[in-house]
Structure formats: structure tokens, C-alpha cells
A = this chain, B = another copy of it.
Amino acid sequence: MAQAKGRQTPQKKCILQIIQQSSMPLTAEQVFEQARTGFQSLALTTVYRNLEAFAADGIVRASVYDDGIKRYELAARHRHYMTCVECKKSVEIPECPFEELKDKLAAETGFSISGHSMEFFGTCPECRRRHEEQKG
């Protein structure tokens, strides 16, 4: 598949590895925090630049969630998530009922469709439980 273009640097390798190993989309900040464990001096800018470069190369997909923050995941993984509005945790949604809908919409509207986003939000069981404990 698409390989990271340009020079091979430790930072680049590390950032890509974090994305590959993650089970959910990560913000630049989250990638930065994880990467920092290995690097004493790593700039958040570098994380942004590499993630955007990966996205341009088609290795990674970037999407903006309903909280306005961009998240990155491997492009090979096409997934949808449900995000807790409180703790911000995401769980994967196995369904993706869009491949057929996509063709239909393209035919109806004349758009050439390059992507879609879908996200559910709500309150996860843990946060719900916490509420109930605080009340009762």
C-alpha cells in the first residue's frame, strides 16, 4: 500500500506507529502525548505536519468530530464510532450502511462522492452510572 513519502525520520516512524496501533481515531494532541513518551523533544507542530502529510498521501484519514476536533486513523480502517459527550470515549459501530446509499445519492444528485462521515453521540454506560450514584 501507500508508504510514507519523503525522508524516514524517527518522529515520522513513531507517529505512524501510534496511529497503526490505536483502536480508535486519535487527536493530534493524543498522538503527541503518546509520542512524547519516547521523545523528550518533539513538537506538536511536527505531529500535525506529519499527520496531514500522511492524510495527503492517503495513508491516514482525518475527520472532524462533532466536538470540532480533528481525529486521525488509518485510512485502511473505515470505521464509524459512537462518542460519549461526557468522557469523550469512542466505541466502534460495526454497521456502515452507506455503500449502497452512496451510489444512489451519486446518481440522484450528480455529485462524485469522495467520502462520508457518520457519528453517533450520547452518554456511555459508565457516565450514566456515575450520574445515578451521585443522585441516589
Contacts and interface: CB of A to CB of B under 8 A. Distances in A.
B112 A121 contact: no
Interface stretch (A20-28, A44-52, A102-110): A102-110
Given A68-B64, A70-B68, A101-B95, A121 B125 contact: no
A122 B103 CA distance: 12
B115 A118 contact: no
Interface string A55-98: 00000000111111010000000000010110000010101010
A8 interface: no
Number of copies: 2
Contact of A114 (B65, B112, B123): B123
Contacts of A9: none
B122 A113 contact: yes
B82 A105 contact: yes
Interface of A: 63-68, 70, 82, 84-85, 91, 93, 95, 97, 101-102, 104-106, 109-125, 128
Given A113-B122, A114-B121, A118-B118, 7 more contacts: A68-B70, A82-B111, A91-B111, A95-B105, A109-B124, A112-B122, A114-B123
